[in-house]
Amino acid sequence: MTFKNKYISAATFFFMSICITFSATALAAEYSVIVGFHQQPGQPEQDLIRRAGGTVDRVYRLIPAIVARLPEQAMAGLRENPLVAYVEENQVVKTIEPPYIAMIQKPFSIESFAEDIEYQDAWGVQHIGSKEAHDKGITGKEIKVAVIDTGIDYNHEDLDANYRGGYDFIFDDDDPIDDSWNSHGTHIAGIIGAEANGTGVVGVAPEVSLYAVKALDSAGFGTLGTIVAGIQWAVDNGMDIANLSIAGVDSQVLQEACDAADAAGVLIIAAAGNTFGSPAAFPGAYDSVIAVTGTDPADQRGFYTPIDPAIELAAPGLGIRSTAQYNGYIEQSGTSQSAAHVTGTAALVMAAGVGDVNNDGLVNNLDVRQRLQITAVDLGEPGRDEQYGFGLVDVSEATAAPTVTSISLVREPTWSESLKITTLEDAFYPITIENDSLAAVLVLVVENDRLRADLITVHIFNSPGENYPQQVTFDLDATGTAFQLIFIPFGSIGAFADITIQNKRERSEH
């Protein structure tokens, strides 16, 4: 199918979706639905759909569900079947439309980056510290990102070297070209991974591997079915990150798909929605998804952004210049653009080697998510809040190797010899005590020469040799202050433990 034919054919997709979805008219005898089952559907479940007078359109593997077309009169009976968990309308979803804005004042002068033409037109990429990572050779190489959107113009001079393939779930073929009226998918792809080639703009992760998963048509519309199919594709094809910028609905099938992808190790990053102070959109509002809001060059919340406790991170979203179809460049605004900045940052964190941030013995998407949280620059109310989440994503800090302090704590003949004292300043510190033979460790915290009674902890261990985990991990947040830690060992002379303290965040100014 040629690009032109796709563009013309796509114009009918929204109309057909409406006809299918709202098929109570005499002209449309069937509803498009998603049927969830209590177990992975096989032939018996497909036969059940057919016996009800329906047609099977798609069988998912990521979640136990089938997309089908069913007569209205079959709905009630199917819902009562013991094999069926739910029957949902295959509702229409759409891209998050960019709000209109006037020109904005960029946060730096052209002269200051005269030698870096691409950064001049990508203020958001520069603002979150991406160039510092690029200068260290951290560019997102070999990290796989699925852009679940309207497709990508993979012929674009700023994207062609990073494009690796994908799939088109609107036309069910392997040509996910972007045919959208506003180049939505191409614009998002450029923010994530436009090449550092001296032309146009540069992306947050300029050597990332981009995959186009076309789940939305030329008008920016799709269905729950095409979105879930795109998420499944991301899992099946080993994507590290999936970027979603849709205004969906709170749906069991969508939540199950996001939860399953998250459990499979895919980091899901979504726009929080341009809701103008209303709650965040789905799927961003789900716990398994990172919901991203938008900020301006002064790090203020965009007028179009949501207010919701589900918001996790903030990133530039106002007046973002990026790639458009036919080797073009356009400026757009919205939380879609913000989510793309976070997706690129996550790719850089993965490329830099995130490590076991949460100390669970694994290195996976959960570690990347926590790394993004603890390195974000706090905005608004102290701590996580409903306007900025944990704060503005910070590439330079998120990709910096954490400082690690190791202490050997030994029970010496005298108490003065046994004590270990260290200072923690203006950072977030996960602390691990790996015990060998001590009976207990007392941790005292002193701030401004005063004992912090609320932070005193005692860690008691079983006798050596017993089948008991001899490791404890706890956190101390010294952001904006300084703590003196005093470790006091208890046990027999010569008993010891190893202590590891990681500096997970240093303050950063923007």
Of the residues 130, 183, 333, 336, only one is catalytic, namely 336
Alpha-carbon distance values, 62 to 169, 259, 365, 504 (Å):
16, 10, 18, 34
Of the residues 156, 184, 187, 341, only one is catalytic, namely 184
Tokens of 148: 């679940």
Q: Is there a catalytic annotation at residue 477?
A: no
DSSP 454: G
Nearest alpha-carbon partner for 351 in 143, 200, 68, 115:
143
User: How far is 432 from 359, CA to CA, in rounded Å?
Assistant: 9
Q: Residue 339 class from Cβ within 10 Å (0-12 exposed, 13-18 middle, 19+ buried)?
A: buried
DSSP 111: G
Q: Is there a catalytic annotation at residue 134?
A: no
Place of tokens 């209109």: 100
User: How far is 338 from 187, CA to CA, in rounded Å?
Assistant: 12
Of the residues 149, 158, 296, 308, only one is catalytic, namely 149
Contact 107, 297 (CB under 8 A): yes
User: H or E stretch including 161?
Assistant: none
SS3 502: strand
Q: Residue 1 class from Cβ within 10 Å (0-12 exposed, 13-18 middle, 19+ buried)?
A: exposed
How many Cβ atoms are within 10 Å of 278's Cβ, its own excluded?
12
Q: Is there a catalytic annotation at residue 336?
A: yes
* Residues annotated as part of the active site: 149, 184, 336
